[in-house]
Amino acid sequence: MIDYSKILSARAQALKPSGIRKFFDVAGTMENCISLGVGEPDFKTPWMIRDAGIKSLERGKTWYTSNAGLAQMRAGIADYLARRFELHYDPESEMLVTVGGSEAIDLALRAVLEPGDEVIIPEPCYVSYAPLTSLAGGVPVPVALKAENGFRLTAEELRAAITPRTKMLVLPFPCNPTGAVLRERHLAALAEVLQDTDILVLTDEIYAELTYGTRRHVSIASLPGMKERTIYINGFSKAYAMTGWRLGYVCAPVPLMKAMTKIHQYAIMCAPTTSQYAGIVALREGDEAIETMRDEYDMRRKFLVNALNRMGMTCFEPEGAFYVFPSIAVSGLGSEEFCEKLLFSKKVAVVPGTAFGDSGEGFVRISYSYSVAHLSEALGRIEEFLKECGHG
């Protein structure tokens, strides 16, 4: 009998399994369960993008692409970044097409971390940064963001977290799960702290196009002096509703790109070819589709924030992504208890804030990648639940 615990790497064994995975498996099998838990768009990939993928298959484009990705794809990304975010990267030397933004995060961490290097990770945040940091030998240094700051990372918080071992700052804004965004002035304050250091910024801007209000998303890489210390990550999943295509990219200064490309070529070879052909069309013709989907998300966002506040689940106004992060103080329950009871008594699945870091305690994440009718039904059940808690 093999004792696998002696065979599996200590690193893999040390990774915490997702604590509520089991909980959501239950939700998946529950009859008449309404989920507000999914973290991907409900829209289908716009037709002209799907069609481009199909056409590429019809024409037999089924080989690997170059490691860095199709030249046309990279040219398209360069053009898109300049057009939408005033970012200027050389498609030949400063860019790599990856298997979703997820691979890009992994590459960036593995390319720069030495054992013991610290990575500052503002929490609550997307769950991958800390485990991937550990796998790369680094030490995650969580910074608990505060609701009263709108879950933004402040310059003071950043300064306090920096030590001589700090190698990198992860900047995940617009933020999953809070919906917080950093506007230009917030970014400028952070940039000032980093200016005289060698600390790199890993900016994960996968939700950049889902920024609401009249002001557009600003990337920290576009601020003076920041490009040389920034690893910029974006992808197609959220903006174009292309999660299943697994397509993203990373842009950074040449020495960093060279290191990341080496890891990418040995581990992955290249991003899916079909997806790249679809991505070229997304970049070229997808601006209107982005606007349409963003408008729809924006209406749902306003609907949800208003309804939750009315029910006593107070939430600050999320300005990005497609999540709201309301406080559940009114229920008198902890995050996990709230979610479990809500699931079993009302068959509504939401994600406990603690899934995104300890500082998420007292909050839950509600996704609005659902129709208004679906949201409305779920909110009705949550309202009943709150009443039964005796606090609604």
Give the binding site for other proteins (CB under 8 A). Answer: 18, 20, 24-25, 27-28, 35, 37-40, 42, 126-128, 176, 299-300, 302-303, 305-307, 310, 349, 351, 355, 372-373, 376
H or E stretch at 324: strand 323-324
In whole angstroms, what is the distance from residue 141 CA to residue 169 CA? 9
Residue among 39 and 76 whose Cβ is closer to other proteins: 39
Taking the complex as a whole, the smallest distance from the CB of residue 61 to other proteins amounts, in Å, to 26
Take residue 228 and report the two structure tokens written for it. 């040389």
Residue among 52 and 304 whose Cβ is closer to other proteins: 304
Taking the complex as a whole, the smallest distance from the CB of residue 384 to other proteins amounts, in Å, to 17
φ, ψ of residue 8 in degrees (nearest 5): -65, 145
Residue among 162 and 307 whose Cβ is closer to other proteins: 307
Strand partners, 203: 171, 232
Residue among 18 and 195 whose Cβ is closer to other proteins: 18
Residue among 98 and 176 whose Cβ is closer to other proteins: 176
Taking the complex as a whole, the smallest distance from the CB of residue 287 to other proteins amounts, in Å, to 20
Taking the complex as a whole, the smallest distance from the CB of residue 338 to other proteins amounts, in Å, to 15
Taking the complex as a whole, the smallest distance from the CB of residue 374 to other proteins amounts, in Å, to 9
DSSP 24-91: HHHHHH-TT-EE----S-SSPPPHHHHHHHHHHHHTT--S---TT--HHHHHHHHHHHHHHH-----T
Residue among 116 and 213 whose Cβ is closer to other proteins: 213
Taking the complex as a whole, the smallest distance from the CB of residue 299 to other proteins amounts, in Å, to 4
In whole angstroms, what is the distance from residue 252 CA to residue 50 CA? 29
Taking the complex as a whole, the smallest distance from the CB of residue 340 to other proteins amounts, in Å, to 14
237: left (phi over 0), alpha (psi -120 to 50) or beta: alpha
Nearest to 134 by CA among 19, 12, 230, 250: 12
Taking the complex as a whole, the smallest distance from the CB of residue 266 to other proteins amounts, in Å, to 26
In whole angstroms, what is the distance from residue 148 CA to residue 333 CA? 20
In whole angstroms, what is the distance from residue 312 CA to residue 68 CA? 50
Residue among 374 and 391 whose Cβ is closer to other proteins: 374
Whole-number CA gyration radius for the chain: 21
CB neighbours of 351 closer than 8 A, spacing ≥ 6? Answer: 20, 37, 177, 339, 364, 365, 367
Residue among 225 and 244 whose Cβ is closer to other proteins: 244
In whole angstroms, what is the distance from residue 247 CA to residue 102 CA? 9
Length of the chain: 392
State how far Cα 202 lies from the chain centre.
12
Residue among 223 and 349 whose Cβ is closer to other proteins: 349
Taking the complex as a whole, the smallest distance from the CB of residue 38 to other proteins amounts, in Å, to 5
Residue among 102 and 166 whose Cβ is closer to other proteins: 102
Check the CA dihedral 278-323-216-185 and report its sign: negative
Taking the complex as a whole, the smallest distance from the CB of residue 232 to other proteins amounts, in Å, to 22
Order of strands across the sheet that contains 323-324 = 323-324, 364-367, 351-352
